Structure 1
Amino acid sequence: MRHMFAAVALGCVCVGGSALAEDVATSPVVLELFTSQGCSSCPPADALLTELADNDDVIALALHVDYWDYIGWKDIFANPAFTARQKLYAQSSGKRMVYTPQMIIGGEDTVVGSQPMEVADMIKTHQDKGMPVDLSMTREGDQVTVSAPAAPLAEPAILQLVRYIPQRTVEVKRGENAGRIMTYSNIATDWTPVTEWDGTEAFEMSFDVIGQEPVVAILQLQDGGPIIGAARVR
């Protein structure tokens, strides 16, 4: 898959004083819904994600996996990289299996994606906790800039950039959802790790972007760890 980003500048600038350990940022909470057009249990979760899609307090993303493609319908949004990401989350939490619809909240908590009350409770928990890094993002024409102040990190984090399609309607012709016309929201199409950051210095990095789709920046500890900062430009 062609990555839709090109880094054009990277600058690290020391700032006076580091963020205190107890400081938290009011970044939006990242929700990752692992879903499939071939999963009969997924439509309620897809509908819930649509309800959350335009909420500025969360960044709700649909990651379509490919392991149900064999049962009669090939998900047109499925990406093996998203299956691998879900498996990495499972490994990091000591689980042996993956499933749909699964929602990962903040890179660390798991709920069944079709359970609105559980999802709402977990969002509230993460909002109350906040994030250790105040990630900022701006967009000017075909370029986005991501920045963050210095912050004390226990280990280096990975900056990732995500593109998504805001909404698409699909007629599913075969498989468990045959005959249904489904609306999907915030469909992740590209998820690119771009750099590692240890938090010792502030950073600012700019990227060329292709197309008008929204761009999300996610700062996450390695190997499927917690998300410690997030921002979005539409």
Structure 2
Amino acid sequence: LGAETESNIVLEERVRQRYILALLYFSTNGSQWANNNSWLSVEHECTWFGIKCGPLFASTAVSEEDSTDVAVTYVDLSTNKLSGSLVSELRSLEELVALQLHDNVLTGTIHELMFTFPKLSTLFLDKNELTGTLPPIIELPKLQYLDLSGNGLVGKLPAFTSAESLLDVRLTNNEFCGAIPDSYYRSMPRVETLLVDENHCESTEAET
């Protein structure tokens, strides 16, 4: 890509991600957050509280100005008095690696699109007031750490595919039900921590 083309792509990406972050701000009552420094200001969104960015292009030979980190890769608004619901548009942050919104007062359901991030390695939504079911299959190929504990999630535990990277899964203190087949563990060959206690789950049973 030429320098001008890459600059246009960067501008488009910034407009898009500012819009998505604004949706998150309004849907979770951003004016009431414990810390909302710089949010919705004219400052670069990568300087907003809780936001970190990385390069939009894997490699680039464009100017110094255009080669700065501009793609949102990290959102950490944990313990920040967020309330309200999550917006599915967050999924459009294609470069997102970590989403940490734990220890807030988030309500409503978790949209199935939240489980389709291509690069997400950390998803912490624990200790909120989220309800509803999870999609039957979660496919997050880069996911290493998942914590949905301490909510009001119901239904069956989801199946994990492409879960070779998973190291730590915490689904405790919800209202999940159903048996946990042996295949659940086989689908996570590298998992070191798998916590599903304090649910309505039956103990592990052999797959039939």
TM-score (norm 2): 0.25
Higher relative contact order (CA 8 A, sep 6+): 1
From the CA coordinates, give the structure whose radius of gyration is larger: 2
